[in-house]
Amino acid sequence: MNVVILAAGMGKRMQSALPKVLHPLAGKPLLRHVIDTARNLSPSKLCVIYGHGGAAVPEMVGKLAEQAGVTIDTALQQPQLGTGHAVMQAVPQLDESVPTLVLYGDVPLTTAASLGRLVEAAGTDKLAILTVEQANPFGLGRIVRENGNIVRIVEEKDASEAERAIREINSGIMCIPTAHLKRWLAALSNNNAQGEYYLTDIVAQAVADGVPVVSAQPSAEWEVAGVNSKVQLAELERRHQLNIATTLLEKGVTLMDPARIDVRGELVCGRDVVIDVGCVFEGRVELADGVTVGPHCVLVNATIGAGAQIKPFCHIEDAVVGDKSQIGPYARLRPGTELGEDVHVGNFVEIKNSQVAAHSKANHLAYVGDATVGSRVNIGAGTITCNYDGANKFRTVIEDDAFIGSDSQLVAPVTVGKGATLGAGTTLTKDAPAGKLTISRPKQLTVEGWSRPVKTKK
């Protein structure tokens, strides 16, 4: 099968410099949703028709094709003279021995299952249209039937009053025998209310040529909903998020409110996972069995081990959290953080590019960057690894069972030996030996006989 995705329209109502089909839904460009769905159908040819927005659309498509190791053709439609004219741009790419499926780059949520039914209805020799009965069909092309058979499609602007009363609409998605399609496209005229080459006019040609025209229906109306404005984009985003939330609920995840979760990527959950309101998941996030995520957390490309608790307001990115660990509230785990089992990271603690082994704790106000921290280490409040000298970064090593007193600065590169203790307020510039107390603070002094100054009278 050939797939042609129409994505040349300018999307004026988006009021944006970004081409419409590159606006994200669930963190992924609209067009990317359509390409991903199309790829599920294993097309032999995939061609995207672009126009507005310069090189941005073909660049995105090129990158995607490279990542996936597939070929995706692009063809420029300039100027944009209608949907029929758009498909004409793909003609040189189309393999005549298989049907052509036409999709829209701004209709992101059509399921592969519905498209599969459409393709099946078309077989090798029929024209199949994905149609929907809509309560409010205003603005859309209407499916005109005689004795139950589709005879043509009429656009809103060209329709008679009787035709406007028809509620079965053209989604725009069609599957067409390719050799016929090429012929029909060549015969299109723009003699209509909009002066455009309508793809929909091929339907009447098919009927005239005795090619059967059939229809298939999607499972839900939103599957064929297009995005023309930010309002419609927001509506489809909510619809998509609700679909994701429903799938999670069906798999046994507890969502405190299915209307208040945003998944912009892939969220994989074990059993008995609980997610509170307002959380955002981006990229690939894995929550193992029994994980709880408190309200208003952002997790990006993260793996959270079984039984771990993520308390409210945490930001976790490119990080691994071990089983039974407790994170937050208000913790930030930055890229390269790897926490072992039962690690406690408390409020206003930032960890970056560091490994922290089992049972270690940094409970309050600390920065741990470029560090290797052993097991059962206690990092006191206000501890900072000084990992950066303004030009280069250095590592801090804290061995097992060390105790770092509050408000210490570890000036890297530096090592705290096994079981070592740093007194509070230590500025560590040389290695602290194992098992001993190291302290850099001046000795405490009390001045006898000292009294506070008093104000002198003028």
Task: Report the interface residues with ligand UD1, using CB under 6 A.
Answer: 6-9, 49, 77, 80-83, 85-86, 104-106, 140-141, 153, 155, 169-172, 198-200, 226
Task: Name the catalytic one among 296, 344, 359, 364.
Answer: 364
CB of 176 to ligand UD1, least distance (A): 13
Binding partner of residue 153 among ligand UD1, Ca ion, none, CB under 5 to 8 Å per kind? Answer: ligand UD1
CB of 83 to ligand UD1, least distance (A): 3
Q: Does 226 contact Ca ion by CB under 5 A?
A: yes
Cα dihedral 153, 159, 163, 165 in deg (nearest 10): 120
Q: Which residue lies nearer to ligand UD1 by CB, 8 or 398?
A: 8
Q: Which residue lies nearer to ligand UD1 by CB, 7 or 47?
A: 7
Q: Which residue lies nearer to Ca ion by CB, 226 or 380?
A: 226
Known catalytic membership, residue 364: yes
H/E segment holding residue 270: none
Q: Hey, what are 229's tokens?
A: 């404005």
What x-and-dash track marks residues 39-68 binding Ca ion by CB under 5 A?
------------------------------
Strands 142-146 and 149-154, how do they pair?
antiparallel
Measured distance CA(44)–CA(73) in Å, rounded: 11
Binding partner of residue 49 among Ca ion, ligand UD1, none, CB under 5 to 8 Å per kind? Answer: ligand UD1
- Which residues in 322-360 belong to E strands, given as ranges? 326-327, 331-333, 337-339, 344-352, 355-356
21: closest CA among 127, 88, 104?
Answer: 104
Q: Interacting stretch for Ca ion, rule CB under 5 A, among 28-36, 219-227, 246-254, 366-374?
A: 219-227
**How many residues in the shown chain lie near Ca ion by CB under 5 A?**
1
Measured distance CA(441)–CA(96) in Å, rounded: 83
Binding partner of residue 155 among ligand UD1, Ca ion, none, CB under 5 to 8 Å per kind? Answer: ligand UD1
Do 405 and 426 touch, CB atoms closer than 8 A?
A: yes
CB of 140 to Ca ion, least distance (A): 9
- Which residues in 312-394 belong to E strands, given as ranges? 315-321, 326-327, 331-333, 337-339, 344-352, 355-356, 361-369, 371-373, 378-379, 384-386
137: closest CA among 106, 172, 168?
Answer: 168
Binding partner of residue 43 among ligand UD1, Ca ion, none, CB under 5 to 8 Å per kind? Answer: none
DSSP assignment letter at 224:
G
Q: Which residue lies nearer to ligand UD1 by CB, 83 or 353?
A: 83
Q: Which residue lies nearer to Ca ion by CB, 157 or 284?
A: 157
What residues contact 341, with CB distance under 8 A and at least 6 apart?
A: 305, 322, 323, 324, 325, 358, 359
Binding partner of residue 267 among ligand UD1, Ca ion, none, CB under 5 to 8 Å per kind? Answer: none
CB of 228 to Ca ion, least distance (A): 5
Q: Does 82 contact Ca ion by CB under 5 A?
A: no
Q: Does 141 contact Ca ion by CB under 5 A?
A: no
Tell me the residue number closest to ligand UD1, measured at CB: 141
Measured distance CA(424)–CA(13) in Å, rounded: 61
400 burial (CB, 10 Å; 0-12 / 13-18 / 19+) is: middle
Residues that bind Ca ion (CB under 5 A): 226
Query: Active-site residues: which are they?
Result: 364
